[in-house]
Amino acid sequence: MTRMELVQGNEAVVKAAINAGCRFYAGYPITPSSEIMHLMAKEMPRVGGVFIQMEDEITSIAAAIGASMAGKIAMTATSGPGFSLMQENIGYAAMAEIPVVIVDVMRVGPSTGIPTAPSQGDVMQARYGSHGDYPIIVLSPSDVLDSYVLTAKAFYLAEKYRTPVILLTDEIIGHMRESVNLPNIERVEKNMPILGEGRKLHYTGLANENGFAIYEPEKYERLIKRLFNKIECAKDVISYKIENPDAKTMIFAYGSPYRTAKAVLKIAKNVGIFKAETVFPFPERALKKASKDVEKIIVPEMNVGKIVNEVKRVVGDSCQVVSVTKLAQLVDPQAILKVIE
């Protein structure tokens, strides 16, 4: 069934999306995500799906949300500047409970930054970028196979929990080619009433009950708590991998710095890895459990140190937490080895 093939990270996203049942892509060109759009333009008509190039990223996500309401499994992809433009409608999808997958192939910012160097600078924007209180799922692959598997998972979770799901990759993963054996993935089914079935649906970004606006603070609070519980109580949202669980030093990594962590493991002894595939909701319980007997946690990131604060919040004073950061390029294994000693 499966065979080895040379696949690019961005390409893996498209393959997984189509195999998972995605049949609507709306986007706006931006490096380093453009390969996703190019492939979608070619492949979507072939599978009877829809591809449209919109006038900007605001409308790209809006069209994807509209298509999702009308029955298609839908996505868009972008990079930092476009991701910023999408934020308002990400909040809309969270509030109106519309499934949509957003891929952010991260590049350095702020603003135009260095086009196109890699970064993990958008990780907190992925969590908190839209206004107001809302839950969201953020997945972060660290190689081509991950890009494939986690894209499929993103669609599964988006449809199951009727929520926007963000796949955070970066320039390294997006443009890297690896020899992979892509597994079969199950097709995702639409899990919601759709427009055009005579149900007289009403979707709105207003705080609502059954589609109609509510203004009472108590009802609003109940709504927001339900939205959070939906994501945070789910058993299949958080995925992570632990290597060398008995080691006293642990590297907490997500995205491409996981590759650095793997390199470190080849050199250093008595080092473990906590690889977070789901960045948000933050894998609190798993990390607490995994770090029980750990003395030092090293958090390599391609930003000024963001998720390290989440790690500190979770482990408290139980162990030492060290941030290793590198901007606009991959973290060097030597930088991690230095703080291990």
Partner 1 sequence: MNVKDYLVNLPHTWCAGCGNGIILGAFIRAFKKSGIDKDKLVVVSGIGCSGRVTQYLNFDAVHTTHGRALAFATGIKLANPELKVVVMMGDGDALAIGGNHFIHSARRNIDLTVIIFNNSVYGMTGGQQSPTTQLNAKTATTPYGNLENPFNVVDLAIAAGATYVARCTTFHVKKLEKSIVEALLHKGFSVIEVITGCPTQQKVKPAELIKLQKNIKPIGVFKKEEKEEFVDKYLKLVKSVKTEKL
Residues 6+ apart with CB under 8 A from 50: 23, 24, 25, 44, 67, 72
Q: Does residue 162 belong to the site contacting partner 1 (CB under 8 A)?
A: no
**Which stretch, 16-24, 134-142, 238-246, 262-270, contacts partner 1 (CB under 8 A)?**
16-24
Burial class (CB within 10 angstroms; exposed 0-12, middle 13-18, buried 19+) of 3: exposed
Strands 4-8 and 177-181 come out as: antiparallel
Binding mask 22-41 for partner 1 (x = CB under 8 A): --x-x---------------
Please state, in angstroms and rounded to a whole number, the distance separating the CA atoms of residues 107 and 104.
9
Of 13, 30, 37, 64, the one binding partner 1 (CB under 8 A) is: 64
Please state, in angstroms and rounded to a whole number, the distance separating the CA atoms of residues 290 and 267.
22
Q: Does residue 58 belong to the site contacting partner 1 (CB under 8 A)?
A: yes
**Nearest approach, Cβ of residue 83 and partner 1 (Å):** 16
Of 20, 36, 62, 123, the one binding partner 1 (CB under 8 A) is: 62
Q: Which is nearer to partner 1, 15 or 275 (CB)?
A: 15
Please state, in angstroms and rounded to a whole number, the distance separating the CA atoms of residues 275 and 47.
35
Of 9, 10, 15, 254, the one binding partner 1 (CB under 8 A) is: 15
Q: Does residue 243 belong to the site contacting partner 1 (CB under 8 A)?
A: no
Q: Which is nearer to partner 1, 22 or 319 (CB)?
A: 22
Please state, in angstroms and rounded to a whole number, the distance separating the CA atoms of residues 33 and 16.
15
Please provide the size of the chain in residues: 341
Q: Show contacts with partner 1 in window 178-217 (CB under 8 A).
A: 195-206, 212-213
Q: Is 8 in a helix, a strand, or coil?
A: strand
Q: Is 210 in a helix, a strand, or coil?
A: coil
**Which stretch, 10-18, 149-157, 221-229, 332-340, contacts partner 1 (CB under 8 A)?**
10-18
**Nearest approach, Cβ of residue 334 and partner 1 (Å):** 40
| Cβ density class 279-316: b for 16+ within 10 Å, e for less | bbbbbeebbeebbeebebbbbbbbbeebbbebbbebbe
Q: Which is nearer to partner 1, 30 or 331 (CB)?
A: 30
Residues near partner 1 (CB under 8 A) are: 14-15, 18-19, 24, 26, 43, 45-48, 50, 52, 54-56, 58-60, 62-72, 74, 88-89, 92, 195-206, 212-213
